[in-house]
Amino acid sequence: YNHVYGKGKWKDFDQKDLLLSYNALKVLEARYLLKDPNTLRYIETPQMMFRRVAKFLSNVEKIYGKSEEEIHHIEEKFYEKMSELKFLPNTPTLMNSGTRLGILSACFVLPVKDSMTTSQGDGIYDTLRAMALVHQQGGGTGFDFSELRPKGDIVASTAGVASGPVSFMKIFDVSTDVVKQGGKRRGANMGVMHVWHSDIEDFIHAKTGQLKDVQLQNFNISVGVYDYFMDKVEKGEEVPLITPRKTKIPGTDHDYYIVKARNYMNEEWVQEEILSELEEKGSVYLDESKIVTVDEALYIAEKEGAIIRWINARTIFDEIVKGAWDGGDPGLLFIDEINRRHPVWYLGKIQATNPCGEEPLLSWESCNLGSINLEKFVKGEEKVYVDWDGLADTIKYAVRLLDNVIDANRYPLKQVEDGTKRTRKVGLGVMGLARMLIKLGIPYDSVDAVYFSYQLSKFIYYHAFKASIELAREKGSFPAYDPTRYREIWDSSRPFDYLLSVTGINETPSTRIKELTKIVDSLDFSALKKDRITFGLRNSTVVSIAPTGTISIIAGTSSSIEPLFALAFIRNVAVGKFMEIDPLFLDYLRRYELDNSEVVKKVAETGTVAENPFMPSTIRKLFRTAHEVSPEFHVLHQAAWQQWNDSGTSKTINLRTEEPPETVEKVYMIAWKLGIKGITIYRDKSKSQQVIYFGIKK
Ligand code: UDP
């Protein structure tokens, strides 16, 4: 070994492998470690995998004229962060870096135009092909199906009758099943339909009732809603259902009114959007006097026959809520919020997200993700504290690594390459929040924990943004960067107190938590903005909170910003039954001398201790699991992380089986008011299967 690795060096390898848990090794050997295709023998160990990724991603620095020495330094940093499990890129990057499969990103949004094929390659069957290519290599795809003409509409070329968007979604679903992502990862899709579409009721019911365990099993579905619509829900007023077919009226500029009517657009950004759309087409100049109100636009839309019928917004909303309660779908996407807080809003309107919602993207964009393992940044024995410096250093190299992925990526299609390189979006996220909180002694469902989330996400955003400015200094800004039109998200981030007031919680964070996070209060965002204007920005978005379904297993921590799912459980495997127990929980049991097999067995039966009267109250408070945390605290954490995030926040609001539909309704309403970009709930046991399997903990 000394001969191969250099004297004593092999010891590092061994020690680093010891950081990997049994489950991590299982996942790695099953799907990540490279094998010889002929003999099926492994040709790499976990450390060799991290080395492969580090080498491959540092090598692209050559394009920017870096010396061998600089590249070597960067490689070592990348390797160090990954092998110490402080940061991991998303699955496709780990699996495909340096191999023949070249897709390294997890998230894609593809356009679907109302035509079989088009010369731009964005017709229904063009997109179907694009989707298959992305799935084959482990990416997830999102689509807005609202451009498709409704069921029963006329097909001019055949004089036939259109079958509607939902029927086309079924084809996408079957293709997903067939491709199965090269056997390594299941295909995942997000299907979106905007609430104005006249087939919206079919869409809402596409995965409910008898269909819920049968139809569109490879899709998460979400209804795109607008502030206009949500206001009408609150007031119980009617909204129009519109056909997307009647939006182009040759020889008039009425189509713009109808587009506006259709989108129930929000006044704050409608003007900018319409103007930039026109600018792009190089056509008519629509002066300000022609910017009409939604009601005026609707009047024209009605006159032109674009409105099929009116329906009470409440009726639609109730159906959405019922569906979600029944089987988890549909979720909501808040289209106005997504676009208001899209930093490069001037490039067009975002209509859809990737499968789990953390990436609202323009058509043809892709984004690669990576997440920091927060648990690693709790230090101290007697007195625990957060290692802010270590965190900042990891953020810096993580952003560099993610940015390099854009150059190292082999894109499945030219349009995706162009779309991605134009904005260079990257998504730095987190995992292990729940375990970090436990180590700090803060219960997840407390005002302190939400405050901590708010401050921590602010810190991460600041440093990720700073890293992107530094990269721009070194390598240039993203091509579509416009220093005057770029919109800082922190100008519209809601204050912490506002979040609490929406949920009606009347409590203030403790002095201890304020002390613990006081470094965040000294961050100077206006200086950051000045730097951005002076030096530019490398990535149009930098942060995104992904579910980390698999990489959190590799890192051996809790997933994303979710609370713990279970403290102990029994796993049936081929060679027998194993009891698995959360190591942090076991530590606590030891402290109270409760670490005997009887206690552990009892806990494993239910997975929780919150209602166990024989457990010390500290343990009961600190180890609340997903179904014991109230919906308000789930949503509050999501809202806190969304305020310091230029993309989206993936979160499942886990509800107990017995929660009524009213809880879903409340959660969806609160989410809108909290400025969340998208929301999904899942009521325990409401489905027999889930769209995405989060690792093997099922
Ligand atoms: N994804 C997918 N198939 C899967 C899981 C995930 O296509 O089975 C995509 C999807 O776009 C999702 C993204 O990967 O939103 C990130 O998921 P996650 O963080 O769970 O991925 P990980 O990197 O942990 O595997």
- Candidates 88, 219, 359, 550: which one to mutate for ligand 1, based on the most atoms within 8 Å of Cβ? 550
* pLDDT value of residue 606: 82
- Does 405 have pLDDT greater than 80? yes
Q: Is the CB of 189 under 6 A from ligand 1?
A: no
100 and 111 part of one domain: no
32, 91, 551: residue to mutate for ligand 1 pocket, most atoms within 8 A of CB: 91
First to last CA, the chain: 39
What pLDDT is recorded for position 618?
A: 92
The tens digit of pLDDT for each residue in 636-662 reads 999 999 999 999 999 999 999 999 999
Out of 22-31, 290-299, 472-481, 533-542, pick the least confident.
Answer: 290-299
In a domain, 345, yes or no: no
Same domain, 256 and 275: yes
Domain boundary among 312, 327, 342: 327
Q: Nearest CA to 455 among 399, 394, 516? A: 516
pLDDT band with cut points at 50, 70 and 90 for residue 12: low
Q: Identify whether residues 289 and 412 lie together within a single domain.
A: no
Segments in 309-429 forming alpha helices (H):
313-327, 335-340, 388-408, 414-423
Top pLDDT among 250 and 446 is at 446
Of the candidates 220, 354, 368, 539, the residue annotated as catalytic is 354
258 and 111 in one domain?
yes
469-494 pLDDT tens trace: 999 999 999 999 999 989 999 999 99
What are the backbone angles phi and psi of residue 355, rounded to the nearest 5°? -55, -40
Q: What is the CATH number of the domain that holds 260?
A: 3.20.70.20
Instruction: Indicate whether 421 belongs to any domain.
Output: yes
Q: What's the 338 CA to ligand 1 centre distance in angstroms?
A: 21
Residues 128, 201: one domain? yes
- What are the b/e assignments for 503-523, b being 16+ CB within 10 Å? beeeeebeeebeebbeebeee
Residue 332 lies in a domain: no
- Residue 414 confidence (pLDDT): 95
**What span, in angstroms and rounded, lies between the C-alpha atoms of 78 and 239?**
52
What total of structural domains would you count in the chain? 3
**543 shares a domain with 413:** yes
CB of 180 sitting under 6 A from ligand 1: no
Confidence of residue 692 (pLDDT cuts 50, 70, 90): very low
Contact by Cβ (8 Å): 116, 124: yes
**Mutation probe of ligand 1 site: the residue of 190, 356, 405, 649 with most atoms within 8 A of C-beta:** 356
Asked whether the predicted pLDDT for residue 1 surpasses 90, the reply is no
The domain boundary, picked from 327, 343, 358, lies at: 327
Strand duo 219-225 + 331-334: pairing: parallel
Domain end (from 327, 355, 385): 327
Count CB atoms within 10 A of the CB of residue 68.
8
Per-residue pLDDT, 581: 84
Q: In this structure, are 143 and 75 located in the same domain?
A: no
Structure-derived torsion over alpha carbons of residues 389, 582, 637, 376, reported in degrees to the nearest 10? 10
Chain segment 94-117, per-residue pLDDT in tens: 999 999 888 999 999 999 999 999
**106 Cα to the center of ligand 1, angstroms:** 6
Closest Cα partner for 501 from 630, 621, 624, 632? 632
Torsions phi, psi for 568 (to 5 deg)? -155, 145
User: Within this chain, do residues 100 and 199 fall inside the same structural domain, yes or no?
Assistant: no
Ligand 1 neighbour 356 (Cβ under 6 A) = yes
* Residue 115 within a domain: yes
Answer yes or no: do 94 and 122 share one domain.
Answer: no
Distance between CA atoms of 653 and 321, rounded to whole angstroms?
14
Average pLDDT score over residue span 162-177: 94
pLDDT: which is higher, 243 or 560: 560
**Could you tell me if the CB of 420 is within 6 A of ligand 1?**
no
278 and 193 part of one domain: yes
pLDDT of residue 181: 60
Share of the chain above pLDDT 70, in %: 87
Q: How many CB atoms lie within 10 A of CB 399?
A: 25
Does 481 lie in the same domain as 370? Answer: yes
Mean pLDDT, the chain, as a whole number?
Answer: 89
Residue 346 inside a domain? The answer is no
Q: Is 601 found in the same domain as 480? A: no
Q: Which residue has the higher pLDDT, 226 or 78?
A: 78
Q: Are strands 360-361 and 352-353 parallel, antiparallel or unpaired?
A: antiparallel
Strand ranges in 343-394 using DSSP code E only, listed in sequence order: 352-353, 360-361, 366-373, 378-379, 385-386
Could you give the C-alpha distances from 408 to 57, 58, 538, 574, in angstroms and in order? 7, 9, 16, 40
Question: Looking at the predicted structure, is the pLDDT value of residue 225 above 70?
Answer: yes
* pLDDT above 70 for 65: yes
Q: What is the span of the domain harbouring residue 598?
A: 568-622
Find which of 2-16, 303-317, 417-431, 610-624 is predicted with most confidence, using mean pLDDT: 417-431
Q: Would residue 383 count as lying in a domain?
A: yes
- Name the token pair of 564: 């713990």
Catalytic residue check, 358 = yes
Question: Is the pLDDT confidence value at 283 over 70?
Answer: no
On the question of a cis peptide bond just before residue 330, with omega within 30 degrees of 0, the verdict is: yes
Distance from C-alpha of 273 to C-alpha of 575, rounded to nearest angstrom: 60
Q: Residue 671: inside a domain, yes or no?
A: no
Residue 185 near ligand 1, beta carbon < 6 Å: yes
135 in contact with ligand 1, CB cutoff 6 A: no
Is residue 673 assigned to a domain?
no
Ligand 1 contact via 550 beta carbon (within 6 Å): yes
